[in-house]
Structure 1
Amino acid sequence: MSKNLSVQRADFDEVMVPNYNPANMIPVKGEGSRVWDQEGKEYVDFAGGIAVNCLGHCHPAMVKALTEQGNKLWHLSNVFTNEPAIRLAQKLTSATFAERVYFANSGAEANEAALKLARRWALDNYGETKNQIISFNKSFHGRTFFTVTVGGQAAYSDGFGPKPGAIEHVDYNDLAALEQLMSEKTCAVIMEPLQGEGGVITPSAEFVKGVRELCDRHNALLIFDEVQTGFGRTGHLYAYEALGVTPDILSTAKALGGGFPIGAMLTTAAIASHLKPGTHGSTYGGNPLACAVAEAVFDVVNTPETLAGVKQREQQFKEALAAINARYNIFKDIRGQGLLIGAELTDAFAGKSRDFLNAAADEGVMVLVAGPNVIRFTPSLIIPEQDIVEGLARFERAVAKLAG
């Protein structure tokens, strides 16, 4: 890595809109679960681009797919279809409940499509009064104005003018509150099968089954936002598989492309029929480059070896974090499923999750937060065992500095 820096972190502040405040260092190279910055410092990556880099950095299968497709065909627009998009859709439908796929560029776009489809389905079948969408407090569904309003964090949607209407929120895991709110006006309930940004919160089995039953009772669609939980993250291809509940619509992104931007909405043929030509679209959705890469990612992720390995790594992480906690007493809870793990800080360290993130980076390990009180780990699904050991040793050094 050259130290002859053509651009520096300070340049960001001169040319970028200030809605981000990135770290002081600039990563320039990644391989597997290791990353190097401009100065040549090495980091163990437990963040995975926020649950995106499911095969780590520069996985050979992804590089091969991108290179081969890059020499064939880059973009067409949806006036035409293409072979990678059809093949990827075939793989997604053969592996899930879904019969139809709509491709987009991100999780927000996949959720936007899901919510628009739910509204159109309800309008066509039941008329204009069936338009209520119910979501859950602390949920996160994207940053478009529709999805950010549906998300359960008002701070993200306040201050931009009048919000889209007929959107309600109740507490996650509170089935009684949902039952009280739902009626024949409800067209859809959208939920994460494991809340990510809201603090890595697992739903009870009774809650998930109850939501499905309430949707059936009121002729409402159940939308699962699996942008963060999907594509192997929990040790299943999609988290719904372990819950005994099947959604009507599912959104997927993040890990779907392993780092290449792509999102998808999955649903049944009957529901999909309500998005007729012209009702919704995306210039880049189904892009041959993105779909070729995602297909390669699918072929690695959707194997018994990879999915079983996620569960093994989960145990390794949780046991090591528990050992750190036994020494420093900083966590009140270590939770999550697969490699979406949240460690909630004790009251003594309340509000300091970002301090731990920064201290970890100083020690050479990348972690995430999920709100002010939870440290989040979303590494590669195939992160080597020795990288977990090394990364957690570095994390413990950061903990020792803050809590020792």
Structure 2
Amino acid sequence: MQVNRELFDLVMAPNYNPAAVIPVKGEGSRIWDQNGDEYIDFAGGIAVNCLGHCHPALVNALKEQGEKIWHLSNVMTNEPALRLAKKLTDATFAEKVYFANSGAEANEAALKLARRYAIEKFGANKTQIISFAKSFHGRTFFTVTVGGQAAYSDGFGPKPQDIVHCDFNDIEAFKALISDNTCAVMMEPIQGEGGIIPANAEFAQTVRELCDKHNALLIFDEVQTGVGRTGNLYAYQGLGVTPDILSTAKALGGGFPIGAMITTTEIASYLKVGTHGSTYGGNPLACAVAEAAFDTVNTPEVLEGVKAKSALFREGLEAINAKYNVFSEIRGEGLLIGAVLNKDYDGRARDFLVASANHKLLTLVAGTNVVRFTPSLVIPNEDIEAGLAAFEKAVADVVNG
């Protein structure tokens, strides 16, 4: 059987349009394709591969657990899930954990819990959910409707109701929307898909205060920002605002699918037996790998390293921009970095991604106007430098047409 890009078009649903290159091997911050060509990875599986490819700690955890027990269903619990839940609660504001398989599922659980909590505690009218323009919370029908990009939720029929959107970082607009009928506010501490846009501290603080005033739950979607990505274990810890519910996924498993919703004991008590569930959520394989990833990332060495590597990354991007003048700003936190194109290159982010791939560098976009970088949190400095040298060639290609 010829396993190539053409086979994708024959056998796969057409909702993706992957590159022609098919990677077959990865190690650290490098991957190799079917032809043996080597690439530097600044994409990290979209902020998932927090320890790069095939990190020994994750490989060992998978091998060891793979020879013990794979799946039980939630009729029984298991040791890796309990250990991971304890570590999550020890390291955060939370006291209770619900495991799922993805960020969308963690967000779905968060939204269902918020509605259940509000209706049971305050009455049937308390159902409004406020989210933000350009936000992204997943692809289930509930989460994609809460997400602030109508293009992803239009065309599928009637949407879940009582969901409203506000401009991000707009305090006055938010004040005008929130009321005693608001059950929850969902926000990303840094909007990822929306263009790497950080919440400013005053805005986040005001959202927290108004949620308290109106008995609304504050849900932080930390699917992309969590598990060390910003240089804090979770971004809320650097923002100084504590949510009521937090979703985490992506980097939580370091490449193995897992998600979690974490919250307080009081709020979690409304998720009574039978109200929500997941066949695979909290399975021993995923939790064993996630525990190894979490233990490896949640150290001063790695978290401080993220901040140092971020500075190196930004210096390199600023130096490239000083030569070629293509970016209006470099924004983000830690190793969640967005290079925002200036008006001369408006809407051309994909051109930079394609040019990078031509120079054996994997990058991302966030919308049409931002080149996004989410590399491994432990990427060697020499790989940052080599990748930036490749990126400079890519920028030169775009600039020179």
Name the TM-score, length of structure 2 as normaliser: 0.99
1:100 paired with 2:96, answer yes
1:322 paired with 2:318, answer yes
Q: Counterparts of 1:50-61 in structure 2 under 5 Å?
A: 50-61=46-57
Amino acid at match of 2:239: L
Q: Counterparts of 1:312-351 in structure 2 under 5 Å?
A: 312-351=308-347
For the residue of structure 2 that corresponds to 1:43, the secondary structure is strand
Identity percentage over the alignment?
73
1-structure distance, mates of 2:130, 2:199: 16
2:180 to 179, 184, 200: 184
2-structure distance, mates of 1:309, 1:244: 21
2-structure distance, mates of 1:170, 1:401: 38
1:152 to 130, 141, 148: 148
Kindly state the Cα deviation for residue 244 of structure 1 after the two structures are TM-superposed: 1.2
2-structure distance, mates of 1:205, 1:264: 25
Kindly state the Cα deviation for residue 144 of structure 1 after the two structures are TM-superposed: 0.2
Kindly state the Cα deviation for residue 6 of structure 1 after the two structures are TM-superposed: 3.4
For residues 150-208 of structure 1, give each alpha carbon's deviation from its aligned partner in whole angstroms, at most 9, with x where no partner exists: 00000000000000000000000001111111111000000000111100001111000
For the residue of structure 1 that corresponds to 2:197, the secondary structure is coil
1:79 paired with 2:84, answer no
1-structure distance, mates of 2:334, 2:302: 11
1:9 paired with 2:19, answer no
2-structure distance, mates of 1:146, 1:298: 28
For residues 212-261 of structure 1, give each alpha carbon's deviation from its aligned partner in whole angstroms, at most 9, with x where no partner exists: 00000100000000000000000000000011110000000000000000
Structure 1 gaps, min length 5: none
1-structure distance, mates of 2:329, 2:118: 41
1:212 paired with 2:208, answer yes
What is residue 193 of structure 2 aligned with on the other side?
A: 197
Name the TM-score, length of structure 1 as normaliser: 0.99
1:241 paired with 2:230, answer no
1:273 paired with 2:269, answer yes
- In the TM superposition, structure 1's runs of 4+ consecutive aligned residues that sit over 2 Å from their partners are none
For residues 109-155 of structure 1, give each alpha carbon's deviation from its aligned partner in whole angstroms, at most 9, with x where no partner exists: 00000000000000110111000000000000000000000000000
For residues 338-365 of structure 1, give each alpha carbon's deviation from its aligned partner in whole angstroms, at most 9, with x where no partner exists: 0000001111111110111011001000
What is residue 371 of structure 1 aligned with on the other side?
A: 367
What is residue 46 of structure 1 aligned with on the other side?
A: 42
What is residue 170 of structure 2 aligned with on the other side?
A: 174
2-structure distance, mates of 1:202, 1:124: 33
2:127 to 127, 131, 142: 131
1-structure distance, mates of 2:365, 2:122: 42
Amino acid at match of 1:191: M
What is residue 386 of structure 2 aligned with on the other side?
A: 390
2-structure distance, mates of 1:245, 1:238: 11
For the residue of structure 1 that corresponds to 2:328, the secondary structure is strand
1-structure distance, mates of 2:349, 2:6: 25
Amino acid at match of 1:399: V
Q: Counterparts of 1:290-305 in structure 2 under 5 Å?
A: 290-305=286-301
For the residue of structure 2 that corresponds to 1:39, the secondary structure is coil
For the residue of structure 2 that corresponds to 1:21, the secondary structure is coil
For the residue of structure 2 that corresponds to 1:111, the secondary structure is helix
2-structure distance, mates of 1:78, 1:365: 42
2-structure distance, mates of 1:74, 1:243: 38
1-structure distance, mates of 2:349, 2:241: 33
2-structure distance, mates of 1:376, 1:382: 18
Amino acid at match of 1:335: R
Structure 2 gaps, min length 5: none
2-structure distance, mates of 1:237, 1:22: 31
For residues 350-388 of structure 1, give each alpha carbon's deviation from its aligned partner in whole angstroms, at most 9, with x where no partner exists: 111011101100100000000000000000000000000
Q: Counterparts of 1:23-34 in structure 2 under 5 Å?
A: 23-34=19-30
For the residue of structure 1 that corresponds to 2:237, the secondary structure is helix
2:220 to 224, 229, 232: 224
What is residue 116 of structure 1 aligned with on the other side?
A: 112
Kindly state the Cα deviation for residue 291 of structure 1 after the two structures are TM-superposed: 0.1
1-structure distance, mates of 2:75, 2:354: 47
2-structure distance, mates of 1:7, 1:45: 23
RMSD value, Cα: 0.6
1-structure distance, mates of 2:230, 2:64: 30
What is residue 353 of structure 1 aligned with on the other side?
A: 349
What is residue 88 of structure 1 aligned with on the other side?
A: 84
2-structure distance, mates of 1:49, 1:161: 31
What is residue 32 of structure 2 aligned with on the other side?
A: 36
Amino acid at match of 1:320: G
